[in-house]
Structure 1
Amino acid sequence: MTEQIIISSATIIGMTIVALIALRGWQGWLALKERELDRARNAEPAMQEGSPQGAARIEIADLKERIRKLEAIASGVDL
């Protein structure tokens, strides 16, 4: 009977330690995700505005596409 009490006590203590470690890891993971969400919320306005260099590249690419289409029309090629 004493052996069973020792084994069951050790099992309960071991399970408690494992549960506490898992809880600590879960709290850390939640804190990490919260920081990621905060970072995403703070970065959102900057991402919507975009960089001026990126906007200029898009505009240049658009202008090049328009020039290509106009040249094709001038040479009589259907697109």
Structure 2
Amino acid sequence: MSMTAEQLQALISAGLRCDHIEVTGDGRHWAAVIVSPEFEGLRPIARHQRVYATLGEKIRTDEVHALSMKTHTPAEWAANQA
């Protein structure tokens, strides 16, 4: 049974405080835009690792085969939306 975008979004949101999150995909390959104050001071790779940590076994067991991410702090997101 493949995961839905809503399920993946809920998993990420449960482990990471998100001000904004969008998830799209086909059940195995996903794209996410994630805005979190928890990304403050982190380099992009550390932000991605933080998201992967919220997925735990789902990422290791290939339930989530691929996840492309755009990660932003709230300030970065606000600047991009202006």
Look at both structures and tell me which one has the larger radius of gyration over its CA atoms. 1
| More strand per residue | 2
TM-score bracket, normalised by the shorter chain, equals: under 0.3
TM (norm. structure 2) is: 0.21
TM (norm. structure 1) is: 0.22
Does 1 or 2 have the higher relative contact order (CA < 8 Å, sep 6+)?
2
